[in-house]
Amino acid sequence: MNRRRFLHNIGRGTILSALAIFSGTMVDRSINSEGGCDFDFVCRNCKKNKDCTLPDGIDFRKKNSIQ
Amino acid sequence: MSEILKYLTQTWNIKKLVTLLSLFVLMMTSGLPLLAQQQRFPKPEFESGYTQPVTSMPDARSDFFALFDVFVLILALSLITWLILKKRSRRGVLAVSVFSILYFGFFREGCVCSVGSLQNVTLALFQPEYSIPISALAFFVIPLVYTLFFGRTFCAGVCPLGAIQDVLLLRPVTMKTWLQKVLGLIPYIYLGLSVLYAATATDFIICRYDPFIGIYRFDATFFMFSIGAIFLLLSAFVARPYCRFFCPYGVLLNWMSRFSKHHLTITPNKCIQCRLCEDSCPLGAINKPVPVKVMEDRPSATKRFIKLSLIIPALMILSAWTLSNFHENLAKVNTKVSLANELMLFKPDAMLPSVEVEAFKSAGTPVEELYSEAAVIVEQFYIGAWILGGFLGLVFGLTLSSLSVFKYREDYTPDKGECVSCARCLKYCPVEK
């Protein structure tokens, strides 16, 4: 293995590690977060509303059940 | 007349008369026209069975189909990589390109795309409350990983933006190297700006100014359609103008590809220096062999490289300082900043309020709140402009210093960074496996 190839291997390994750490963090955040809103907080017709834990979603469910 | 008045004043008291006249005027002005209107336009009957349509928003791509897209991306990437590296087939690349145009382009309407996902990733990095969709993350990471091992096979035919330009290339013209180098700096500027605007949650400029999305969706504005048409027309003569001179994701792929383990080679075996492939690349991404006599002695080349490298920090500081002076102009793209600016300059006596100003005033939000939010964003732009300026200075400096570097090469080899693995050069090589 020459010097150039050795440096390339180190570079590749570093980038791969960085990508893996970054992806892992993002996936973890995505799974453990309370969930963002796909519809800009317009709850009507939202399919995720029944399981939504966001305050707007809970509020919408409450109002709907009264009606 | 005087007799009538005299009679009235005798029989009626004046107060009664005024009341009667007022009632008459009131009936004439409001009561009667109202009655008439009711007769003309009877009250609508809401019990007619008609139901108001439900206001609805388009469904988000379901989780299954979002994952299916990722699966298709992996499949297409694997197939094109196999076709390029193992089968060495230009026809195969063309077939995958057509598939990508149809599936990722027209069917999926160019979204989610790896080029745009760069902004989702930036937003997720800088705004912790934003949770990036897994499919967007996958579309960003997977092509990078493939490039790290196999070169830019994603650009070859999986990216719908690159594929549509590639299939339209009819008569490629060779561009001067200096022009390619100069235009090749634009993607770095575009990358820096798109990261800056995404990081400050201002805008996704790559998607907004994507010249091909409007064509894939058949809903382009006249301006964007014109830009897209110009790019497509240009693609017939200049190979992949958007990929080479604009694509910000291409910058990342270029960096990754330099580390690639199994990059495409022009010859499947030993190069016989026949020079047939010399001008085969429409992107000018073939490195020619460097004759030994041209080579400079190592110490003097190193000395020149070091001297040039010393310019880099100076360029970085100069560029960062220059751009930081324009941070307010850059921040004006942000809606909050532009509204705060408008409100600051607004003179109610001399100017008519714009729709934005009217909407803001009717919302009842205190102006001070908007000003403080805008000030925070402008501050973010100030820091961002310093970083962006430094980055651009570094890029300019490295480009300058790289011009003085002569690498010794014996064979014709693809430039790992610039080569998009389109496989055009392969058919020029007479060497058998």
pLDDT at B3: 57
Domain count for chain A: 2
Q: Are A41 and A35 in contact (CB under 8 A)?
A: no
CB of B145 within 8 Å of a chain A CB? The answer is yes
Residue of chain B minimizing CA distance to A21: B141
What ipTM does this complex have?
0.75
Tally helices (H) and strands (E) across chain A: 2, 0
- With an 8 Å Cβ cutoff, is B57 touching chain A? yes
| pLDDT at site B56 | 59
CB distance A26–B132 less than 8 Å?
yes
**Percent of residues, chain B, with pLDDT higher than 70:** 85
- The reply to whether B64 touches chain A by the CB within 8 Å rule is no
Q: pLDDT (tens digit, 9 = 90+) per residue, B126-137?
A: 988 788 888 999
Residues A41 and A29 in one domain: no
Q: Do A1 and A24 have their domain in common?
A: yes
Of residues B39 and B153, the one with the higher pLDDT is B153
- Say if residue B405's pLDDT is above 90: no
Cα separation, B83 vs B89, whole angstroms: 6
Instruction: Quote the DSSP letter at residue B102.
Output: I
User: Using the beta-carbon criterion (under 8 Å), do A47 and B59 form an inter-chain contact?
Assistant: yes
pLDDT digit string (tens) for B340-394? 999 998 888 888 888 888 888 888 888 898 999 999 999 999 999 999 999 999 9
**Residue that wins the pLDDT comparison between B304 and B27:** B304
Distance CA B93, CA B157 (A): 6
More confident residue, B11 or B116: B116
CB B285 within 8 A of CB B413: no
Cβ <8 Å between B57 and A45: yes
Decide if pLDDT at B196 tops 90: yes
Identify the contact set of chain A against chain B, taking CB-CB distances under 8 A. Answer: 8, 11-12, 15-16, 19, 22-23, 26-27, 29-30, 33, 35-36, 38-39, 42, 44-45, 47
Diameter over CA atoms, chain A: 75
Kindly state whether residues A66 and A49 are assigned to the same domain. yes
First-residue to last-residue Cα distance in chain A? 74
CB pairs below 8 Å between A and B: how many?
Answer: 51
Residue ranges of B 190-209 with Cβ closer than 8 A to chain A: none
Which residue in B56, B57, B134 is closest to A27 by CB distance? B134
Q: Which of B124, B134, B256 is opposite residue A15, by nearest beta carbon?
A: B256
User: Chain A within 8 Å of B59 (Cβ-Cβ)?
Assistant: yes
What value does the mean pLDDT take over residues B2-16? 58
pLDDT of residue B46: 58
- Domain containing A2 equals 1-33
Return mean pLDDT, chain A: 80
Strand spans (E) along B236-290:
286-287
The answer to whether the Cβ–Cβ distance between B56 and A35 falls below 8 Å is: no
CA distances from residue A5 to A10, A18, B252, B264, B335 in whole angstroms, order as listed: 9, 20, 20, 16, 49
Mutate to test the interface with A, among B56, B59, B64, B131 (most CBs of A within 10 A): B131
| Residue among B163, B159, B74 at smallest CA distance from B115 | B159
pLDDT of A67 over the 50 cut: no
CB contact under 8 A, B124 and A15: no
Indicate whether A26 and A43 sit together in one domain: no
Convert the pLDDT of each residue in B71-94 to its tens digit. 999 999 999 999 999 999 999 999
**Range B234-260 burial, b when 16+ CB lie within 10 A, else e:** bbeebbbbbbbbbbbbbbbbbebbbbb
Q: Evaluate if residue B407 carries a pLDDT over 80.
A: no
For residue B30, what is the DSSP state? I
Mean pLDDT in residue range A13-31: 91
Cα–Cα distances in angstroms (integers) from residue B214 to residues A53, B38, B60, B130, B226, in the given order: 36, 49, 19, 27, 10
> Structure tokens of B198?
């995404």
Amino acid identity at B304: R
- Chain A residues with beta carbon closer than 8 angstroms to that of B52: none
Percent of chain B surpassing pLDDT 90? 57
Residues B236-289: pLDDT tens digits?
999 999 999 999 999 999 999 999 999 999 998 888 889 899 889 999 899 888
Cα–Cα dist B232/B227, whole Å:
9
Question: How far does B117 lie from chain A, in Å, by closest CA?
Answer: 13
Chain B residues in contact with A26 by the CB 8 A cut-off are 121, 124, 132, 137
Per-residue pLDDT averaged across B204-220, rounded?
Answer: 91
- The pLDDT score that the predictor gives to residue B103 is 94
Q: How far is CA B160 from CA B110, B165, B233, B244, B320, in A?
A: 7, 9, 16, 15, 35
State the smallest CA–CA distance between residue A59 and chain B in angstroms: 19
Predicted confidence at residue B296, as pLDDT, reads: 66
CB < 8 Å to A30, chain B: 131-134, 137
Q: Mean pLDDT across the stretch B53-77?
A: 79
Whether residue A30 and residue B131 make contact (CB cut-off 8 A), yes or no, is: yes
pTM: 0.80
| Of B415 and A64, more confident | B415
- Examine the pLDDT at B203 and tell me if it is beyond 80: yes
CB-closest option in B56, B134, B144 to A30: B134
Q: Do B54 and A33 touch (CB under 8 A)?
A: no
Q: Which residues of B touch A38 (CB under 8 A)?
A: 60
